[in-house]
Amino acid sequence: MVFILETEQPLRIGIQKSGRLTEKTIRLLEDIGLKFDDYKSSLMVKCRNLNIELLLIRDDDIPEYVQDGVCDLGFVGANVTAERNANVSVIKDLEFGYCRLSLASPKNGAIKTAEDFQGKRIATSYPNLTKNFFSGKGIDVRIVEISGAVEIAPTLNVADAICDLVSTGSTLKANGLVELEPIFYSQTQLIRTNQPISAEKQELIERLLLRINGRQLAEKSRYIMLNAPASAVEEIKNILPSAKSPTILPLADPEMVAIHSVVPINQFWDIMERLKQVGASDMVILPIQSLIQ
């Protein structure tokens, strides 16, 4: 009998080739330890240190590729996955690429609320999300599907209003439009195929998730080092977040200790001020690369 040893297929990840998500996605992948050769010149890039390959494609194609199992994972905006109604699993919100799909109409025009859209023409690249929003409210609209530069449609009299992605709102403003109502909030997500995958791939996905979680937690935390009178240690322990036991080190001066700890960024200034009040000094604050718990 002859056994043929199949080499394991690489875990294939679909990412946007060129656009708003590309740089942040690549940076995330590099931060969690994946090494690539030049990703700008090729559609398929092999990872040098893990059995992973990147497929660089238009973001619109990512949900279907993941749905069909062409890619095992994808980095894509929730807006695209929802619009395509793709059968995939969202396994992680990635906390970048924040935007909203919003209704907007010409400044000083007659359309001020969603109800005013009855019978109007609305230009959008998101016909399904827009249709669902209005049909949920029992409002009839005429969808004019446009693939880009949607905000110019009212000026060209192709539509009466639009439904488009907004982050700061400056593009709307520059085109004489006002934002009326968000219909969908989005951020970049990691999606996974629902097609069966090998145990090896599953294990690799779990490793990637652990690393992404570590990076996200690190971004929300700071490492602090400070000196304090030994007599203040108990008070300082009470101020520092309870889940983390601080490291306490002796100093040359027996009355003093050095304390190291990790603090969440949202409580950071409050903690620093309280530490100072109980005698902490020489506080050094450092960013953290990754935090695995």
Q: Is 20 in the site for ligand ATP (CB under 6 A)?
A: yes
Q: Is 80 in the site for ligand ATP (CB under 6 A)?
A: yes
Q: CA quadruple 56, 60, 63, 66: dihedral positive or negative?
A: negative
Chosen from Zn ion, ligand ATP, none, partner binding at 77 (C-beta under 5 to 8 Å by type): ligand ATP
291, 217 contact by CB (below 8 A):
yes
At its nearest, how many Å lie between Zn ion and the CB of residue 141? 23
How many chain residues touch ligand ATP (CB under 6 A)?
A: 16
Q: Is 95 in the site for Zn ion (CB under 5 A)?
A: no
Residue with the two structure tokens 């969603």: 114
Chosen from ligand ATP, Zn ion, none, partner binding at 21 (C-beta under 5 to 8 Å by type): ligand ATP
Chosen from Zn ion, ligand ATP, none, partner binding at 194 (C-beta under 5 to 8 Å by type): none
Terminus-to-terminus CA distance in the chain, angstroms? 48
205, 92 contact by CB (below 8 A):
no
Cβ neighbors of 178 (< 8 A, separation 6 or more) are: 104, 105, 106, 107, 172
Nearer to ligand ATP, 105 or 186 (CB): 186
Q: Is 59 in the site for Zn ion (CB under 5 A)?
A: yes
Q: State phi, psi for 145 to the nearest 5 degrees.
A: -80, 125
**What are 161's strand-pairing partners?**
122
208, 31 contact by CB (below 8 A):
no
At its nearest, how many Å lie between ligand ATP and the CB of residue 58? 4
Only one of the segments 41-49, 51-59, 96-104, 171-179 lies at the binding site for Zn ion (rule: CB under 5 A); that segment is 51-59
Q: Which of the residues 85 through 104 are near ligand ATP (CB under 6 A)? A: 97, 99
At its nearest, how many Å lie between Zn ion and the CB of residue 81? 12
At its nearest, how many Å lie between ligand ATP and the CB of residue 178? 16
Q: Is 19 in the site for ligand ATP (CB under 6 A)?
A: yes
Nearest Cα residue to 261 out of 280, 233, 287, 240: 240
- Burial profile 267-279: b = 16 or more Cβ within 10 angstroms, e = fewer: eeeebbebbeebe
At its nearest, how many Å lie between ligand ATP and the CB of residue 278? 43
Interface residue with ligand ATP among 89, 113, 118, 167 (CB under 6 A) is 167
- Using DSSP, state whether 186 is helix, strand or coil: strand
Enumerate binding residues for Zn ion (CB under 5 A): 59-60
Give the binding site for ligand ATP (CB under 6 A): 16, 19-21, 58-60, 77, 79-80, 97, 99, 165-167, 186
